[in-house]
Structure 1
Amino acid sequence: MNKAQALVVDDEADLLELLKITLARMDVQAVTALTLAEARRHLERGQFDLCLTDMNLPDGSGIDLIRQIGEQYPQIPVAMITAHGSMESAVAAMKAGAFDFVSKPVDLQLLRRLVGSALKLRGHVSASDDERGDTGPQLLGESAAMERIRQLIVKLARNQAPVFITGESGTGKELAARLIHAQGPHREGRFVAVNCGAIPQDLVESELFGHKKGSFTGAISDKEGLFQTAEGGTLFLDEVADLPLATQVKLLRAIQEKSVRPVGAQREVAVDARIISASHRDLTEEVERGRFRQDLFYRINVIELRMPALRERPRDIPLLADRLLQRLASRQGDRPALTLSAEAIEALTRYAFPGNVRELENILERALALCEGERIDVADLYLPRTEAPAVSTDAVDETVPLEESLREIEKREILNALDATHWDQAAASKRLKMTPKSLRYRLARLGIE
């Protein structure tokens, strides 16, 4: 592979010279520009593997250059050089498509890490699920929704911007995070997943940032935190909304400064890990209620990836069911994989799946254990009656008065929304597109406690 080429744009000649020397020591040839216009001329004439640009240039904004490169030269990762403490600029740059950012005065160690990560993308083409086969993580589905998710994951994998994955429980948020990691510049590093809600509150800080021996009762030796464990890789913070407010402050600093301070330590430790977070809760609502810091939400939600619920993509259910049955059968050794009857497939397709893909797997595992024939039928699925398929106009019983039928439909939809949101009335009302007050009135009228 030929020597890497970098375009460096800044109106400070001294900084340009420093960056040029630093890149040369990394065997990267730098072409420099003092203005936006000069940078654009270089882009037209040369081929670059990386671009570093200042935010404020004499003839425009570095944001404009980021957008132009994203549209015309999407293969070039761009890093923004921001003023010290200007996180708003850094976030704006990454929302515009920047690969990462570095603050002034430039920390050369962080710069070298950034450049190294960016150059790992050189010549790398993300593989599709079919190209990877069954050896790696897969996001199955032929629906338009899943195709959009796969395309977005490919784009997200090419930068370092924090990603916030939303979606109901069981929609595959961790799987999406693993795919972003597997296709990005940190794919050779570790993927470290942590459920923030599963850590005792008095141990959260120690688990995330580590601790020094003797820093608290029970700290019998130094311990690395999960940030350090994920060095060079990806740290996935699942159910980030469950973090205590005090820890949220320290998490914000760790993300902004790219360093952590272990409990009891005097100095911070630099860390290079991509942060991906997720929650099934509505963080905007958590911020409004004072349970989640707005500045942290602003920082982790640079790019949002919403995982669709299974009921939003029913055409994917047959494919998912077939793959899950094959996987479940392989765990049982010699037993051949059973198939689903047409009626069973139809029943699954019409089912609401409040637990999403995880619930589908549980239903199939139970059916596989109880089925005595060679094919799984509707009766073997034991689908809960309260989660019956959504009622269509063709399914309304003509012998029942219209008002009573509508009441049952309304009750079923409200129950589905409540179950999908773990009986969080505020989230359920938002899902149903009604006010919390209206939902409370309907619950009382329908006799739902």
Structure 2
Amino acid sequence: MAKKSKALPRVLVVDDEVDLAELLELTLLKMGLDVEKAHGVIAAKALIDSQHFDLCLSDMRMPDGEGLDLVRHIQAKGLDLPIAVITAYGSTENAVAALKAGAFDYLAKPVALEQLRALVKSALKIDATPAVKAARRDRPLLGDSVALQQVLVLIEKLARNQAPVYVTGESGSGKERAARAIHASSNRAEKPFVAVNCGAIPENLMESEFFGYRKGAFTGAMDDREGFFQAANGGTLFLDEVADLPLAMQVKLLRAIQERKVRQVGGVNEVDVDVRIISATHQNLARCVESGKFRQDLYYRLNVIELKMPALREMGDDVLTIAQFLVEDIAARQGMPVMKFTAAAKKALCRYDFPGNVRELENILERAVALADGTEIDSDDLQLQQSQCDKAEAVAANLGDTYPLQDYLDRVEKAAIVAALDKTGFNRTQAAKLLGVTFRSLRYRLERLGIVEG
């Protein structure tokens, strides 16, 4: 019996301009794809409801509706159908709205056929290798708490489109791990994931590091070299601590993201790049915009969809799951048996507030494994300082109920603030984060309560 041939991937092209629809159809047919056309939103919805498609390309504005209507229709039905929208030149607002609604990507008119081909190839890479599928199953983010499960659900959604993602969260909360999870679950998983710490690059080297350089462009440029954008081509570029970028570099980064092209230092021609941008910072980027430290246009380009990583203290008993995983990892690296936690150690871990989050937990466990006797880690091995919450509770319990209410509250508040300042070496910015208040609010409380250093 003859072997049945595999069906060609099917693409739905939606555009009320017949000439453009035919141009797109011809390009896609030459790529070996099966193409269906619809000249309006209503006709497109009928086809989507009755037939299977692997990709949809839709114009943004049509007489009977918008491309956004199709995006929402596909999302509402829960279809595994990537959709890209075609927007008018310079219509950034429409593109961002489409990405937020769940579109895979967008193209600007006039449509550049090379960009179209790159988008289609990226969208149709549905079948991953066994290694990639295994990596998708082995999530780098552990835990069953509501806070983490919400993050994992959003990561799955983000992996299905190309929208820029802005990851927020405290230092050590796993922002890079979240970015890697998005990449590993996306159709870019077989391409590079390039992580860049923007705060670690000297300002005079930034342009050459990001965009590469040509031989002879400057003293020491002995050979041509690719930059981060070229290295991540087809994959994901993760910009950590993006708030540390100087303003001059922000302008160049914005242009590279908008145009999807880079020019090497010392080069003449621009090179097309296809990267997904994920950025992160522990700073409040909106406040950086307000203070003039960060460009507003770049902020809106990066912050299309925000993913907030929960602090470890917000994840309940997940700390024990993560701690057990880390201890097993330490044991595997050091070639030693896996240690267990005593009941006292587990209680201590659950009560501690972890201002440094998972990174601090890992450091604590590295030390505990080295200090522990036998096969168990006890609370003394962890060497955890009493949390500011415990200190405040202890002080409050000793205050009694003989004071006027305001005095009583002031004393409790002062005790908590002093404990936080002690823990952070009187670093008011870190203390404010620890207490969950703004820096301005903490400064007001310090003045009101008469708290001074030393």
Provide the TM-score with structure 1 as the length reference.
0.91
**1:283 aligned residue:** 285
Partner of 2:3: none
| CA displacement 1:4-24 (0-9 Å, x = unmatched) | 111111121111111001111
Which secondary structure state, in structure 1, belongs to the residue aligned with residue 238 of structure 2? strand
SS at match of 2:56: strand
> Given the superposition, is the C-alpha separation of residues 332 and 369 from structure 1 closer, same or farther in structure 2, using an over 3 Å criterion?
same
1:362 alignment partner in structure 2: 363
CA distance in 2: counterparts of 1:192 and 1:276, whole angstroms: 10
SS of the residue 1:223 aligns to: coil
Matched AA of 1:64 = D
- For 1:166-177, list aligned pairs within 5 A: 166-177=168-179
What does 1:330-409 align with in structure 2 at a 5 Å threshold? 330-333=332-335, 335-385=336-386, 387-390=387-390, 396-398=396-398, 407=411
More off after superposition, 413-422 vs 286-295: 413-422
How many angstroms apart in 1 are the aligned matches of 2:204 and 2:58? 42
Please give the secondary structure, in 2, of the residue aligned with 1:318. Answer: helix
- 1:427 Cα offset (Å): 9.7
Once the two structures are overlaid, the 10-residue window that deviates more, 29-38 or 369-378, is 369-378
Residue 43 of structure 1, CA deviation: 1.6
Alpha carbons of 1:342 and 1:164: their partners in 2 closer, same or farther (altered >3 Å)?
Answer: same
Task: Provide the C-alpha distance between the structure 2 equivalents of 1:271 and 1:308, rounded to a whole number of angstroms.
Answer: 33
The question of 1:443 aligning with 2:439 is answered no
Change (3 A) 1:120 1:416: farther
Q: Which residue of 2 aligns with 1:117?
A: 122
- Show CA shifts across 1:99-150 (max 9, x none): 0001111111111111111111369999999983xxx552101101111111
Deviation at residue 379 of structure 1 after TM alignment = 1.4
2:416 maps to amino acid: R
User: Residue 182 of structure 1: which of 184, 207, 213 is its match?
Assistant: 184
Asked if the contact 1:311–1:352 (Cα under 8 Å) also holds between the matched residues in 2, the reply is yes
Equivalent residue number for residue 58 of structure 1: 63
Structure-2 separation of matches of 1:126 and 1:40:
36
- C-alpha distance in 1 between matches for 2:271 and 2:278: 20
Q: Classify the secondary structure of the residue corresponding to 2:398.
A: coil
Q: TM-score, normalised by structure 2?
A: 0.90
In 2 relative to 1, CA 235–352 (structure 1 residues): closer, same or farther, beyond 3 Å?
same
Structure 2 counterpart SS, 1:30: strand
Structure 1 position 446, deviation (Å): 5.0
**Whole-angstrom distance in 1 between the partners of 2:54 and 2:25:** 15
Shift in Å at residue 393 of structure 1? 5.4
Task: Confirm or deny: 8 A CA contact 1:234 1:275 kept in the other structure.
Answer: yes
Q: Is the Cα–Cα contact under 8 Å of residues 137 and 178 in structure 1 kept in the other structure?
A: no
Instruction: Give the superposed CA RMSD.
Output: 2.9
Q: Secondary structure at the match of 1:64?
A: helix
For the pair 1:86 / 2:85, whether they are aligned, the reply is: no
SS at match of 2:292: coil
Could you say which residue in structure 2 is the equivalent of 1:327?
A: 329
> 2 CA distance for matches of 1:301 and 1:123?
28
Distance 1:421 1:260 in 2: 44
1:149-164 residue pairs with structure 2 within 5 A?
Answer: 149-164=151-166
Distance 1:431 1:54, change over 3 A: farther
- Is the 1:77–1:99 contact (alpha carbons within 8 Å) kept by the matching residues of 2? yes
User: What is the distance in 2 between the residues matched to 1:424 and 1:129?
Assistant: 44
CA separation of 1:10 and 1:122: change in aligned 2, threshold 3 A? farther
Supply the distance in 2 between the matched residues of 1:328 and 1:297 (Cα, whole angstroms): 39
SS of 1:224's equivalent in the other structure is coil
| Greater Cα offset, 310-319 or 375-384 | 375-384
How far did 1:412 drift?
A: 2.9
**Equivalences for 1:190-201 in 2 at 5 Å?**
190-201=192-203
Q: Residues 289 and 426 (structure 1 numbering): CA distance in 2 closer, same or farther, change over 3 Å?
A: farther
Bigger mean CA offset, 33-42 vs 402-411: 402-411
Q: Which runs of 5+ in 1 are unaligned?
A: none
CA contact (8 A) 2:392 2:415 kept: no
Task: Choose 271-280 or 417-426, whichever is displaced more.
Answer: 417-426
Conservation of the 8 A alpha-carbon contact between 1:126 and 1:154? no
Q: In structure 1, how many angstroms separate the alpha carbons of the residues matched to 2:183 and 2:421?
A: 32
Q: Deviations over 1:240-263 (max 9, x none)?
A: 111111111111111111111111
Higher mean displacement: 166-175 or 422-431: 422-431
Aligned partners of 1:37 and 1:59 also within 8 Å = yes
Q: Alpha-carbon deviation of 1:430?
A: 11
Identity %: 52
CA displacement at 1:214 relative to structure 2: 2.1
Paired residues of 2:428 and 2:439 also in contact (CA < 8 A): no
Write the distance in 2 (CA, Å) between the matches of 1:137 and 1:424: 36
The secondary structure found in structure 2 opposite 1:314 is coil
Partner Cα distance (1:201, 1:228) in 2: 20
- Cα gap change, 1:221 to 1:377, in 2 (>3 Å): same
- 2:51 aligned residue: 46
Structure-2 separation of matches of 1:130 and 1:159: 19
Q: CA deviation at 1:74?
A: 2.7
Query: Greater shift after overlay, 438-447 or 305-314?
Result: 438-447
Distance 2:395 2:129 in 1: 52
User: Which of 310, 313, 326 is 2:312 aligned to?
Assistant: 310
146-155 or 122-131: bigger deviation = 122-131
Give the C-alpha shift of residue 341 in structure 1.
1.3
Return the offset for 1:433: 4.4
Q: Distance in 2 between matches of 1:183 and 1:25?
A: 29
Residue in structure 1 matched with residue 204 of structure 2 by the alignment:
202
Q: What whole-Å deviation, never above 9, does each CA across 1:319-348 have from its counterpart, x for those lacking one?
A: 111111111122221x21211111111111
Given the superposition, is the C-alpha separation of residues 317 and 85 from structure 1 closer, same or farther in structure 2, using an over 3 Å criterion? same
TM-fit CA distance, 1:317: 0.9
1:200 Cα deviation from its structure 2 partner: 0.5
1:262-300 Cα shifts (integer Å, max 9, x gaps)? 112111110011111111111000000001111111011
Counterpart of 1:322 in structure 2: which amino acid? Q
2-structure distance, mates of 1:91, 1:289 = 24
**Please, which runs of 5 or more residues in structure 2 have no aligned partner?**
1-5
AA in 2 matched with 1:88: E
